[in-house]
Amino acid sequence: MLDVEGIRLNRDDIRRLQNPGVGGVILFTRNFDSREQVCELIEEIRSLRDPALLIAVDQEGGRVQRFKNGFTRIPPMAEFGRLYDEAGEDTQRVLQFTASTAQLMAEELIECGVDFSFAPVLDLGLHGDTVIGNRAFHAEPEKLVKIASAFIDGMRAAGMQATGKHFPGHGHVLADSHLETPVDMRSFESILAEDMQPFSVLKNKLGAVMTAHIAYPEIDSALPTFSKFWLQEVLRKRLGFSGLIFSDDLTMHGALVGGNIVERADLAISAGCDMVLVCNDHVAMDELLAAKSYTASNKSQQRFDNMKARPATRLSKTERKYTIDQLKALIPE
């Protein structure tokens, strides 16, 4: 999965996206000028291949929302956790609001031709405003599972598959894997009891999981992205997850321990990733595409197909208005 350079495709974008080893596109803020423009860009991307490439975006909410003008602003996921804590015995109302928010987010993206948002974050919100911080629903696994489950239900109601990230859990480290390789010295039992609980409980609701570029030296010498132990023994066999496995972006600093871009991609795919992300580095993209000819296995192809948006139910006008009004109250102009 690659990105494109601007608000419309150039020759290099088209050349890369027509490579048969490319299976998807992730869009960023730089690709967005207006709702009309991004819908046209997505239509152009879809016209390049048959079957069309998967199209994704990080539309989590809060500080990670790539499309804004013309799309409903979504608060950080921690706001839903706060509302849940404050609801007393009326937590069901908060869960319904969480689900309708996710459904609205997904509807708006699907209407523009996006297949899925890389959401929700299933990491524990333990360290305030760090790289995860308020992107997480809650610090407590049990509460996080309830709120995230409602969010996933909303996405699925709209016809969008959910992607849980970042496996096996980013919540206990402070370092930003965009800038360095975080290290978590805990035992496997500790991580299983806490960080992995959301992935374990919600596995059958998730269409995909994204890996974390975090070192767990007490458990395995390889990062989860490059680890057969984490992806095949734990995620596939122990947890029983059968959906798509995405690597996080292989150009992030945290992944550089895997070698050059070709070595990183090979390690990730050998470990069990179905699709690797290579973003914001067009030299690396060209190097990878020139060096390798990737072909998806039948299982991976089935998982890709499952991630395609399939428009389903829509919020009623009353539900949509109520949800938008409530969200505006959480995000003052």
DSSP 202-219: HGGG-SEEEE---B-TTT
DSSP 136-174: SS-SSHHHHHHHHHHHHHHHHHHT---EEEEET--TT--
DSSP 3-state of 114: coil
Pairwise CA distance, residues 127 & 142, whole Å:
18
Pairwise CA distance, residues 41 & 329, whole Å:
32
What is the phi/psi pair of residue 18, to 5°?
A: -85, -5
Contacts of residue 50, defined as CB under 8 A and 6 or more positions apart, other chains included, come to none
Which one of 58, 153, 184, 248 is the catalytic residue? 248
Calculate the CA dihedral of residues 164, 166, 169, 175 and round it to 10 degrees: -150
Contacts of residue 284, defined as CB under 8 A and 6 or more positions apart, other chains included, come to 250, 251, 261, 278
Contacts of residue 290, defined as CB under 8 A and 6 or more positions apart, other chains included, come to none
H/E element, 126? none
On whether the CB atoms of residues 42 and 33 are closer than 8 A, the answer is: no
Q: Is 178 noted as a catalytic residue in this protein?
A: yes
Which residues does residue 27 pair with via DSSP β-bridges, in sequence order? 57
Which one of 33, 127, 176, 178 is the catalytic residue? 178
- The identity of residue 84, as a single letter, is Y
The catalytic residue positions are 178, 248
